[in-house]
Every structure is written in C-alpha cells, then in structure tokens.
Amino acid sequence: MSQLDDTDAKSVIMPAHVAIIMDGNNRWAKKKHLPSIAGHTAGAAAVRRVVEAAARSGVQVLTLFAFSSENWKRPKLEVDGLMTLFMRSLKKELKRMNKHNIRLKVIGDISGFSSSLQKQIHSVEQATIDNSQMTLVIAANYGGRWDITEATKCIARRVASGELSPENIDEALMSQHVQLADYPAPDLLIRTSGEERISNFLLWQTAYSEFVFLPVLWPEFDQQHFDDAIQTYQNRQRRYGGR
C-alpha cells in the first residue's frame, strides 16, 4: 500500500464509541456574569449539537458524562436546577431522538434521583429501545469507582452462591459486569475546558482509549470542535501495548 493509500485509509476510520466529559458550564456562565444554571442550559444546547454531529459522522455509541456521583457536593440550588434541566431535556428530546433513530441509555445509580425523574428515564429508554442509528448513553450519578465496586459485588455474590469459582475471575468477566458491558469500549475520550484528567469517569472502560483534551468550554463546543477531535484520533496509532 502506498503512503497516499495508507493516509486515505486512516482518514476514514471513525471511532465506534466516543465518550465526552462535558466540562466548563460554570466557567462559561461566570465569564458572562450569568448564574450557573445559565451555563448548564447552554451546555444542553451543546449536547444537542454533538449528538447530531456524532450521528451524522457514523459514531455508534456516544457517552456523555452528565452528572457525577461527586456533583451532589455542589450548591443545592445548582443541583436542583440540574435535576429540573435533566427532566425537561428528557421530555423535550424524545421526539428528536425518535426522528433521528437514536436510542437512549442511562448508566449510573439512578436510585439517587427522585421517583419522577427515574420514571421519566425509564420511559424514554423504553420509547427509544428499538432505535438503531446510534446509542446515546448518559452517565448520571455515575462514578468509575462506584462502577467497579458494584461489578465486584456482583461477582462476589456469584462466588458466594457457588455459581462461580474465584479461579474463573479474569478481565473478560469483569468487563461483563461493569456499566456499558453491552457496548464496545470507548475508542476516544474527549474532555473540554482545558482540564486534563478523567475525574472518575469510565475508569475500567477507557484503559486503552485515546484521550483528546480541548481548551473550549462545553457550551461553545460545536461541529468543528468535534471534527477536530475526530481528526486527532484518526492521526493516532493505537497499539494496545504492542508495537
């Protein structure tokens, strides 16, 4: 294969699974002298843009870190606003998801949410279950350490019941018990706002993901930023520990 052919082949490789840490809503609001909820509302508009961009690009799974298990520490007014925004977005975006053939999946400990929000989550998941263009995964009340701990508990219960021998526990088994077990591991992890850490997000699943950190604040994230991250990914060589 010629150098040109190799470059062309590499340029068309799309990540099957893109995960995004949507960071910078509060800083965006502060920069504009607005309350924090204004930043989160603007961030919701960015979610709509990136979902449409990912679906157009052929991404199979898009996972967005919407609310971490540590976010409960934020001011109550901000948390309440986020819960209201989450509920409103679920109701508002259902028609759009069905129109674009997008399935919704929520991961995390949703038992921490109000009963009405839990009901709305289940309702939208069920209403989009047959959609196949792309799966949109929302990580809400999610933490990577929680995820691994819950998987470990499940495996321990299987061992205690005699269903499973400790000698049979390996990485493949663990991968079957963490969140997103039914989906490919993220090929690409994007974080906005210039911060360069993964903040307890998909710790197990991103072991071999490519990381791209962008200086843009999340409410300003658009198609061009998404395309730039994809291009950066396409220019990487993924070796998975080999040469």
pLDDT at 155: 98
| Beta carbons within 8 Å of 213's beta carbon, 6+ residues apart | 190, 191, 194, 195, 196
Residue 239 lies in a domain: no
State the pLDDT at residue 242: 65
Looking at the domain assignment, is residue 164 inside a domain? no
179 within some domain? no
The pLDDT, as a whole number, for residue 72 is 94
User: What gap in Å lies between CA 45 and CA 218, rounded to an integer?
Assistant: 10
The helix/strand count (H/E) of the chain reads as 8, 6
Has residue 156 been placed in a domain?
Answer: no
In a domain, 178, yes or no: no
* Host domain of residue 220: 14-145+186-234
Along the chain (243 residues), what's the average pLDDT of each consecutive run of 10 residues?
41 87 97 96 96 96 96 94 96 95 98 96 98 98 98 98 96 98 97 97 97 98 97 87 64
Q: Which residue in this structure is represented by tokens 């400990």? A: 109
Please state the domain count of the chain: 1
CA angle centred on 229, ends 42 and 28, rounded to 5°: 25
What's 102's domain CATH number? 3.40.1180.10
47 part of a folded domain: yes
Q: Are strands 61-68 and 17-21 parallel, antiparallel or unpaired?
A: parallel
pLDDT at 95: 94
Distances from the Cα of 170 to the Cα of 82, 152, 176, 196, 240, angstroms: 38, 11, 10, 30, 18
CA–CA separation, 228 and 183 (whole Å): 24
From residue 60, how far is each of 4, 17, 39, 185 by CA, in Å?
Answer: 27, 6, 28, 11
Catalytic positions = 23, 71
Residue at 18 is within a domain: yes
pLDDT of amino acid 126: 98
